[in-house]
Structure formats: structure tokens, C-alpha cells
Structure 1
Amino acid sequence: MNVTLLIPARYGSSRFPGKPLAPINGKPMIQRVYERASLAEGLDNIYVATDDERIRETVEGFGGKVVMTGSEAASGTDRLEEAATNLGLPDDELIINLQGDQPLIDPICIEQLINLFKQQPGQFEMATLGVEILRDNERTDPNNVKLVYDNDHFAIYFSRASIPHGRDVDDYPMHKHLGIYAYTRRFLHTFANLPVGRLESLEKLEQLRALENGYKIKVAIGAFDSPEVDTPADIRKCEQRLAAD
């Protein structure tokens, strides 16, 4: 099983224009994501998928590989579908989708997803990660997507709201979704061509498209959090964590 990791990256962002190139302790964020991913075992290739020449030049400047996509991609999934097509990836290729705003991703998280597919071949075609929430403020922060899953670790729902909601208790485990996915090339094509769902439109969460159309998403619970960079203020938080390490 060949494994290709793709990092979708776009320059435009309503909350943080130019985010992939924002410096974190002297390195562009996209470089930190790429270098962290390259530490994971089991990857055959890593590419940044972008439509922006500034990002391409930056990635190639530090020795990374780029696959160019069109500017009309409506979502990260659409960009990955185009990238996989441009790269000529076969149907049985395992694709890891790592968001370009996770400069602190632990390589073990990537390895967990790869191992899921190796240990349970043919049991599912899409998987993702969650982590237990340990900070109280993250339980109610809509930027931290929450997830619930069944006894077989298949996702039931993802939400920006606090789920599950304890009617009579306040202290109970809650899990946060990490922005990393794995799927077969075959399923990525199916997923990208599904119609945008009602719940997806409400929550602005692409993964709900799969659930709404009856597809399963396997969930592994990781030991390492991977905070996303949503605003310029998050850059400072990443720098503080890097300094602490």
C-alpha cells in the first residue's frame, strides 16, 4: 500500500490572508507543517497542493514538492481531488489529508491513520483522528470541532457545539476533532463528487457530507493534540509551545 500525504494550502483567507506563509519562529508555517509530516514513518510522498505561486516558490525553496491545482477549488477536498488526478494516483493509494494550518502536528498522529488501514484492510475507506479535550475553554469554543463516535469507533457526528451535552453532569469526557484525514484514492473521488449536505452547510464541516450520504468514518483517538492556526494570535501560541519544547 503506497501512501501519499497531501497538504492543501491557499493564500486567501477571510480571517488570516497569507496564512501558509506566516512566519513561526523564523520559518513559514507551511514549511513547519511539511517538515513535521516528513518525520512520520510509512509515507512514500509528500506534496503541498496549492494554486498560488508564492506558496509554490516557498515550498520549492525549502526543498519540498508541490502539485499545482486550479484556483476554482471550492474546498480542500476539491483541491485534493484535483491534486490526486494531476499526480495520477491509483485507486488503492492511501491519501493522507493534512491541513496546512497544523504546524505542531505530531508525526505519530499520521502513523496512527496509516496503521488503521494496515490493520483493518477493506473495513472502511475514510478515517480521522480525535483527542480528549483537557482545557475547559475548548469544550465551548466553536473553532474546536467536537466529535462523538460509536462502540466500534465510527463517527456519529461532528459539531462546533459542545457534544455530547451532559444533562445532569458537567464533568465527562469530550473529544476534539483533529484536522487530518485518510482515505483511499477511490473514496476521495467519490467524496469530492457528493453533493454538499444540509448539515455540512449549517456547520461548515466537510466531513459531515460523508455521514449525510451514509458513508462511515473510522475514528482513532490520539495521545497528542495538534492545535490549528486560525488567527494571527494563534501564531504566538505556537511559538510559545515550540519554545517550551
Structure 2
Amino acid sequence: MIIIPARLASTRFPGKILADIHGLPMVIATAKRVQNLDNVAIAADTDEVVELAQKHGFKAILTSQNHQSGTDRINEAASKLNLPEDEIIVNVQADEPFIEEAVVKSVIERAQKTEAMITSACKKIDLLHVKDPNLVKVILDIHGNAIYFSRSAIPYDREGGFEGYLGHLGIYAFRKNALETFCALPYAPIEHIEKLEQLRAIYHGHSIAMVEVQSQSFGIDTPEDLERALAFFS
């Protein structure tokens, strides 16, 4: 099942999940992008978003407004939906209205074949974006599992000329029991430093399987991102 965590409050872009994307609220546009891949549910924190989702024909679950992350929100939703323990749950961010079906499909297929706690995705990025702290970088081991995620440029290119940087895409797949385990783990020091919750899994010795994809999509964090996305995908 695909669960979209939908938090109405946003520090940098209040109400962004309701922003207009070619005639649809952003969260609905995102749901429609992935509805052909699996069942979709929207995990909302307000009655307004629940009613909006239902109006457009999507299952919606009202969740607590006190969650610290979208992962905690989808964990509550998965529990309320009584999903099987081995169900693959894909967390697609509500602010990814242009995410490609092929990206989500690749993550699902990788999740079906791995025993890693989490499955996620990455793509090659150019040098212009390497130093952008809003674009998270990742390095992989020989098996395609994540070694580390950082807002800094990793690996550090001491001699210059390295062009193999990978940017992380904010999509995650868990089996339900792994999702429950992850949410029960203590917070990790590196998670607080980088402000990246996926580092919690690595800190506690769990694996994150990665799949490299081709994607032009990007998350919308600010009004400027929205303008850029609408122009790019017009």
C-alpha cells in the first residue's frame, strides 16, 4: 500500500499540500500520480484534508498532530488500517506531485526482494547541486545499501574530478513490521545533527537498500520551488 503523510502545517510553506498543481491540491495531485501502482491512502492531521481526500475518492485516515515525522504518521495509519505484518508500505511525500511512476515501481520491486529494514531511491546529480544542503546526498556499499546520508557533499573529493555524486529521493518502503520497529528505535545523535531520520536505522545497525533511478522530480519545500516546478513540468 502507498500511504501519503499529509501535514497541513509547514514552517517554510504553510498549507503547501493544498497549493494548486494544474487545478488540483498538491496532495491530491501526488495521490493521482501513484494511484495505478497500488492502493493509496492519505494520512492526514486535520479533518479538512481527510474530507478533501475522500471528496477525490481516496481513503483517508486522521492521525495525530503531534507526530515528529511523516514516518510516524504512516505508522499510525498502517496500524489503523490493520494491514498485514508483511505488507509493503510505501511512503510517498505529499510534496512530490511530479514523482514518476517508474521511480515508485522501482522502489516497490526492490523492497520485494530485500531483507533490509528500509528501501529507498537515489539518482545521479550534477556538481551544481552537490553543495545544496536541501538536496541530501548518499553513498552506497558494494551491495547497493546506503552507507551514509548527509546534507554535505559526500564523499569528500580531495583531489577533484569526482562526478559520481548521488542525491537521495525522499521515498521509503517498509514492511509493516519493519516500520513498527523503526518507529520504536531511540533517536540517534547523527539524526539530530543532520536532521535526517533515516540515519536512525543506520546508527542502530539496520540496512537501507537503495535503487538508482532516473528522475526529474523534486520535493516542493518553498513557494519558489512551486513556481520552478510548475514552470518545469508545464
- Give the alignment's TM-score, normalised by structure 1: 0.92
Mapped to 1, the partners of 2:52 and 2:76 lie a distance apart of: 21
* Larger displacement relative to structure 2 (187-196 or 59-68): 59-68
Indicate the residue corresponding to 1:210 in structure 2. Answer: 201
Mapped to 1, the partners of 2:68 and 2:111 lie a distance apart of: 28
Q: What displacement does 1:193 show?
A: 0.6
Mapped to 1, the partners of 2:129 and 2:49 lie a distance apart of: 31
Q: What displacement does 1:113 show?
A: 1.3
Mapped to 2, the partners of 1:36 and 1:215 lie a distance apart of: 30
1:39 is paired with a residue whose SS is coil
Indicate the residue corresponding to 1:95 in structure 2. Answer: 89
**CA contact under 8 A between 1:97 and 1:180: conserved in structure 2?**
yes
Mapped to 2, the partners of 1:137 and 1:14 lie a distance apart of: 26
Indicate the residue corresponding to 2:50 in structure 1. Answer: 56
1:225 is paired with a residue whose SS is coil
Mapped to 2, the partners of 1:30 and 1:78 lie a distance apart of: 18
2:233 is paired with a residue whose SS is helix
Query: What amino acid sits opposite 2:120 in the alignment?
Result: T
| Runs of 5+ unmatched residues, structure 1 | none
Mapped to 2, the partners of 1:57 and 1:219 lie a distance apart of: 35
Mapped to 2, the partners of 1:107 and 1:141 lie a distance apart of: 26
**CA contact under 8 A between 1:8 and 1:80: conserved in structure 2?**
yes
Aligned-pair Cα RMSD in Å: 1.2
**CA contact under 8 A between 1:20 and 1:55: conserved in structure 2?**
no
Q: What displacement does 1:117 show?
A: 3.0
Matches within 5 A, 1:178-189: 178-189=169-180
2:229 counterpart of 1:235: no
Mapped to 2, the partners of 1:127 and 1:214 lie a distance apart of: 15
**CA contact under 8 A between 1:36 and 1:103: conserved in structure 2?**
yes
Write the deviation string for residues 140-178 of structure 1: whole angstroms up to 9, x where unpaired.
Answer: 111100000101001000000111111001342100000
Structure 1 segments (4+ residues) deviating >2 Å? none
Q: What displacement does 1:225 show?
A: 3.3
Mapped to 2, the partners of 1:229 and 1:165 lie a distance apart of: 27
Query: What amino acid sits opposite 1:61 in the alignment?
Result: K
Matches within 5 A, 1:157-196: 157-196=148-187
Q: What displacement does 1:241 show?
A: 2.1
| Runs of 5+ unmatched residues, structure 2 | none
Q: What displacement does 1:106 show?
A: 0.3
Indicate the residue corresponding to 1:116 in structure 2. Answer: 110
Q: Percent identity?
A: 37
Write the deviation string for residues 57-76 of structure 1: whole angstroms up to 9, x where unpaired.
Answer: 22222222211111121211
Q: What displacement does 1:39 show?
A: 3.3
